[in-house]
Structure 1
Amino acid sequence: MGFLQTYARVLGLLAPDKWVAIGLALAALALAGLQFLEPVLFGRVVDVLSGADRLPQDEVWRQAVALLIVWGAVGLTGIAANVAVSLLADRMAHRNRLAVMHRYFQHVLAMPLSFHGDTASGRLMKIMLVGTDHLFAIWLSFFREHLTTFITGFVLLPLTFFMNWRLAIILLVLVLVFIVVAAFVVSRTQEAQEKVEDFQSQLAGNAQDALSNVVVVQSFTRMSAEAKLFGDIMRQVLDHQFPVLNWWAVVSVLTRSASTVSVITIFILGTWLHMNGQASVGEIVSFMGFATMLIGRLEGAVGFVSRLLMQVPGLREVFSVLDARSSVPEKFDAIDLPRVRGEVVFDHVAFGYPGGGRILNDVSFTAPPGKTVALVGQTGAGKSTAMSLLQRLWDPIEGQVTIDGHDLRDISLESLRRNVGVVFQDAMLFNRTIRENLLIGRPDATQEQIEQACRMAEAHDFITRQPQGYDTRVGERGAQLSGGQKQRLSIARALLKDPPILILDEATSALDAATEARVQKALKVLMEGRTTFIIAHRLSTIRDADEILVFDQGRIVERGTFEELVELGERFAELVRTQLSGAEAKKANPVAA
């Protein structure tokens, strides 16, 4: 996207406020006209006074007073128009900045995991905050200053040719010199500024990465190393930024020099024209005023173009995020499913990440409503990937996944995820109160329903012992709670949501034996009457599953009940023997364990 294209798109974002924008544009046109009139009126006053010896004194006074009254009216009207433009432009810029921020936030939240896996959350935050600040600054300066500059340059400047074309040529040359110099410097600095923006995004991403893993940074004494890495990137920012600043400092000096030369040239040429009867003293004064006004406008334009050049890479990052398309697009006529029965079918499903090999290949199974299906296998066998397809975090490259006979690609994402609940290995709590975390899946739940879900999840007692009970903040990622407490809150959250389909993704693998026993009790309550999928490495947790699917290298190689698979004596039985021998070893040598 080119420099001017980016600028045009920034202004195009104001489409919802187009009538306000049109009104501001008309006000800017009026302001430009009023500012154009001031040097004209000044020149007319000078002409009247310089010719006073040729007119009756009363006539001189009458003309001078009339011109002064008009001049005063123009000045007051200009002040009023400036106030109106400032107020309306401020409000419109603030309103649309927040609107774009809200749109960006919604868009990023809706993007699939493939997008978030490739982009650091710190970088996304930086793009949103910095980019919307740039949008605000451009909108505000456009309507307050630069629209008037454009009108002055492209509409009113030609009018000076009707006053005195010889003097007007000097103003035209001044504008053309500015345009040529600015275009040259933009071409020389644009690429460098884009690199600066990339390094600044790296700064944000690295800072977020280090802060979110501050425990690792401190325990591995990485403070100095992380600070050095941050400093190295910061130096690269400065190394690329300073040449850009130098170029624009040169432009500023050249603009001021050209402006000074223009004023002197107007004075010299005007004097010569006046001596030859081709320009009045008033015209010379008016053109001096035009030059002064134009100088101010051009200096403002130089500052604007230099700032815009530095802002364009950040704006492009905003637009690149907004333009990013989901890898799991929703059909315009997607079905909004009510509460489903819960029959899940994988029909010859295959999947592979873009640019990689297949992770799942020809996976087929049926989970009847209300039954429990366990997925086991070595790490990387495809268990979690299969459940990602059920949540439609990805789409299969072959085959289909259906719920109650509906292909997931035909269902709206909201209604699909409304019918599926997940209890993760990491409870993934927000830095909010316990109540707010519980209400995420069901915002309209009553306090009685919240407490009932927490009792069923064995969580109510420990919650009431917290300093503020249900209004206690849990800290970032639930840092104020133990692992078992967080997991029981996660189960209570799923109970409150009451989904017909449930996924337990290693829900107890990070817990000690005593805590796991309490959580397993809560999970049994949660699983009742729901189609449940259990991803587990601890095979003792899946003994009661209706069916166990054994994955190996992306395929289902065995299926059956726990007893059937043990009797079969193949892969699953080997996994059971391995875990049992490990448990026996721990009992025999508890110190070593």
Structure 2
Amino acid sequence: MKQLGRIMAFTKKLTPYYVIILVTSIFVTAANIVVPFIIGQATDTAVAAANGNTPVGQAVTTALWLAAAFLAIDVLSTVTSSIGGYFGDVMSQKMRAILSVRYYEKLLTLPQGYFDSELTGTITSRLNRSIAEVINFAKSFANSFFTTLMTVVAVLIVSAIYSPWLALLLAIVFPVYLWLTALTSKRWQRLEGEKNEEIDLAGGRFTEVVGQIRVVKSFVQELRELKIFSHRYVKTVDVTRDQSRHWHWMDFIRRAFMSLIFFAIYAIIFVNTARGNFSVGDMVLLIQLIALARQPIQSMSYIVDTAQHAIAGSKDYFDVMALVPSRRPALADSMSSEGVPDELVDLISDDDESQPSHPTSPSSVEIREEAAGDVAVSFEHVTFGYDDDPDVLSDVSFTISRGERVAFVGESGGGKTTLTSLLMGLYAPRSGEIRVFGRDVSNMHVGDLREEIGVVFQDAALFSGTIRENISYARPQATEEEIVAAAKRANARKFIEGFHSGYDTLIGERGLKLSGGQKQRISVARAILKDAQILVLDEATSALDTRSERQVQAGLESLMEDRTSLIIAHRLSTIATVDRIITLKDGRIDEVGTPAELAQTDGIYATLLALQNEGTKKAKKSLKRYEIEH
């Protein structure tokens, strides 16, 4: 029940809804309790008239008034129940919104390492499954729990008036039933956790395969993927068999115990009626009251079942919510200005322990203005490794001046891309300092840091939607003129305007309707429009053919104007005009110098340059093999 308490605390801003549901439940319960009294009174009236103890006309009048009272109570109960149901539905959907948005916000603040070790589909499946199970419980809880609880209390009180033995037996049923349920819970939840893990893994693989469907089909691996997916769900069936067998055996024991108790209750009612202690109307009243008490006991299995699903599901949810973000962007502070409805912002903004506070950070302009000297980027004795793996970078130090173009060259796994990931704050170094415009990035807001950096990846990484939306991704408020100007500078305007819908052309998931060169030029236009002071080019042309490379390179030359540029490239043609080259070997800096200086050494760059300039078939083959392997 601790997990359910955490859910209630996490959604405490829904308290007004809980109160309304409670009030309507009280009224519905009162109506349910009054109805047996009306029917009991009507029964006694009819029996009295049949025995000649009451005039028929008087009995008919009384019966009609009782029927009218029944109608009025039934109508009011229906209206009140509908009101409670309405607020229950809205409450459950708002709870879904709160839990979903907070989960999404948490994901956006988690360090890159979390996503390195989790499948995208698993993260998505966890969101859908966990929150769906919590919401199902919330709806059943809102629609029946309060009514059930108050009905039981009322029936106990009324039964005690007629017979203490009736109240005693009813009082025994509930705690014993709950105790038997508790015996079931521990094993059931463990098995549910195993099943959830298989479902999440299956969902993760499903999303991954759909995203890579061309690869699957190209290598004719449809059957293999289907077997992997099916195997996960076969395991859930096996777990469910064990789980269900255990649950229903315990449920049989609970129901058998309940049947014995109600046998004794009905025996007391019938015997007392036969002896004249209860009237026929009293008997009818008590039978209906007992039925009111028995119904919630029988439905308790469903409530407990949904509660256990919610507990198991919410565990996965709160495991994610308990993760510590590296440096949380001020997402909640800017939500209302980013188009999120104010009502939802009010609901999800909260001062709880899962949302750590952060100091106010100066703007990007202020960062640049207060930075002294001409140094844009500096690494000072930086050492880094992933998780518990060995160091990828060891004692790396260098500085890059404002407006300087610096290329990084080295073998595969030498740490080139890792350097840029550290610069963007995707990971934190094990030791050393990284500074941007004189400020230690560990003391900067992630949002402010990344505002300073524009990136063009090897994979263009576009989103489904239009060309316009992708170019303006970093600046959604950009004008038409600014978008067109960025496309022109990226050498992309001609092909974009060649489409029937121009900038409103839908490009499909990850831009699959575009060629590699077209996607990359849109990526360059996106970086141009962002207008960041520091530019990272991570093998931005390595996946392109020669013609596409030239077109993209023209856009990159425009992009690099008046910017500090960090370039990772294997093709020497893309780094021939840089100011300096830094070569990396085994995670350490090997050489630093201009292209002309490094061409005279025996290092990596000189070796590659010699192979390229030799021009022989053997040299070209060696150069190509190096580019592929490194």
Q: Which residue of 1 aligns with 2:6?
A: 9
Give the letter for the 1:462 counterpart.
Answer: F
Q: Which residue of 2 aligns with 1:545?
A: 578
Percent identity for Structure 1 against Structure 2: 30
Q: CA deviation at 1:63?
A: 6.0
Provide the aligned length of Structure 1 versus Structure 2: 590
Q: CA deviation at 1:103?
A: 2.4
- Alpha-carbon distance in structure 2 between the residues aligned to 1:287 and 1:18: 36
Give the letter for the 1:91 counterpart.
Answer: V
Give the letter for the 1:12 counterpart.
Answer: A
CA deviations over 1:109-141 (Å, ceiling 9, x no partner)? 332221111111111111222223223222221
- Alpha-carbon distance in structure 2 between the residues aligned to 1:247 and 1:43: 42
CA deviations over 1:173-198 (Å, ceiling 9, x no partner)? 33234223322222332211111111
Q: Which residue of 2 aligns with 1:391?
A: 424
Which range moved further: 433-442 or 542-551? 542-551
Q: Which residue of 1 aligns with 2:358?
A: 332
Tell whether the 8 Å contact from 1:368 to 1:531 is kept in structure 2 after alignment.
Answer: yes
- Alpha-carbon distance in structure 2 between the residues aligned to 1:511 and 1:10: 50
In the alignment, which of 381, 390, 393 is matched to residue 414 of structure 2? 381
Structure 2 residue 32 is the aligned partner of structure 1 residue 35: yes
Give the letter for the 2:478 counterpart.
Answer: A
Distance 1:589 1:181, change over 3 A: closer
Give the letter for the 1:29 counterpart.
Answer: I
Q: CA deviation at 1:328?
A: 4.1
Q: CA deviation at 1:333?
A: 0.7
Structure 2 residue 272 is the aligned partner of structure 1 residue 239: no
Tell whether the 8 Å contact from 1:435 to 1:470 is kept in structure 2 after alignment.
Answer: yes
Q: CA deviation at 1:338?
A: 2.5
In the alignment, which of 424, 441, 461 is matched to residue 428 of structure 1? 461
Which range moved further: 380-389 or 69-78? 69-78
Give the letter for the 2:361 counterpart.
Answer: I
SS at match of 1:567: coil
Distance 1:159 1:443, change over 3 A: same
Q: Could you list the runs of 5+ residues in structure 2 that have no partner in the other structure?
A: 330-356, 369-374
**1:389-468 matched pairs, under 5 angstroms:** 389-468=422-501
Structure 2 residue 52 is the aligned partner of structure 1 residue 19: no
- Alpha-carbon distance in structure 2 between the residues aligned to 1:503 and 1:523: 11
Tell whether the 8 Å contact from 1:27 to 1:85 is kept in structure 2 after alignment.
Answer: yes
SS at match of 2:403: coil
Tell whether the 8 Å contact from 2:120 to 2:207 is kept in structure 1 after alignment.
Answer: yes
**1:55-94 matched pairs, under 5 angstroms:** 57=55, 67-94=66-93
- Alpha-carbon distance in structure 2 between the residues aligned to 1:299 and 1:98: 32
- Alpha-carbon distance in structure 2 between the residues aligned to 1:581 and 1:319: 61
- Alpha-carbon distance in structure 2 between the residues aligned to 1:588 and 1:280: 105
Give the letter for the 1:237 counterpart.
Answer: T
Structure 2 residue 570 is the aligned partner of structure 1 residue 573: no
Distance 1:460 1:65, change over 3 A: same
Q: Which residue of 2 aligns with 1:499?
A: 532
Distance 1:347 1:166, change over 3 A: same
Give the letter for the 1:110 counterpart.
Answer: T
Q: CA deviation at 1:587?
A: 6.4
SS at match of 2:432: strand
SS at match of 2:202: helix
Q: Which residue of 2 aligns with 1:490?
A: 523
- Alpha-carbon distance in structure 2 between the residues aligned to 1:503 and 1:384: 10
Structure 2 residue 590 is the aligned partner of structure 1 residue 557: yes
SS at match of 2:269: helix
Q: What TM-score results when the alignment is normalised by the length of structure 1?
A: 0.92
Give the letter for the 1:241 counterpart.
Answer: T
Q: CA deviation at 1:588?
A: 9.2
Q: CA deviation at 1:419?
A: 1.4
Distance 1:227 1:555, change over 3 A: same
Q: CA deviation at 1:59?
A: 7.1
Tell whether the 8 Å contact from 2:134 to 2:309 is kept in structure 1 after alignment.
Answer: no
Distance 1:586 1:376, change over 3 A: closer
Q: Which residue of 1 aligns with 2:351?
A: none
In the alignment, which of 349, 356, 362 is matched to residue 382 of structure 2? 349
- Alpha-carbon distance in structure 2 between the residues aligned to 1:574 and 1:153: 85
SS at match of 2:610: helix
Q: Which residue of 2 aligns with 1:137?
A: 136
Tell whether the 8 Å contact from 1:428 to 1:477 is kept in structure 2 after alignment.
Answer: yes
Tell whether the 8 Å contact from 2:611 to 2:622 is kept in structure 1 after alignment.
Answer: no
Tell whether the 8 Å contact from 1:251 to 1:302 is kept in structure 2 after alignment.
Answer: no
CA deviations over 1:427-479 (Å, ceiling 9, x no partner)? 01111111111110111111221111111111111111223221111122211
- Alpha-carbon distance in structure 1 between the residues aligned to 2:155 and 2:472: 61
Q: CA deviation at 1:580?
A: 4.3
Q: CA deviation at 1:422?
A: 0.2
Q: Which residue of 2 aligns with 1:175?
A: 174
Which range moved further: 450-459 or 324-333? 324-333
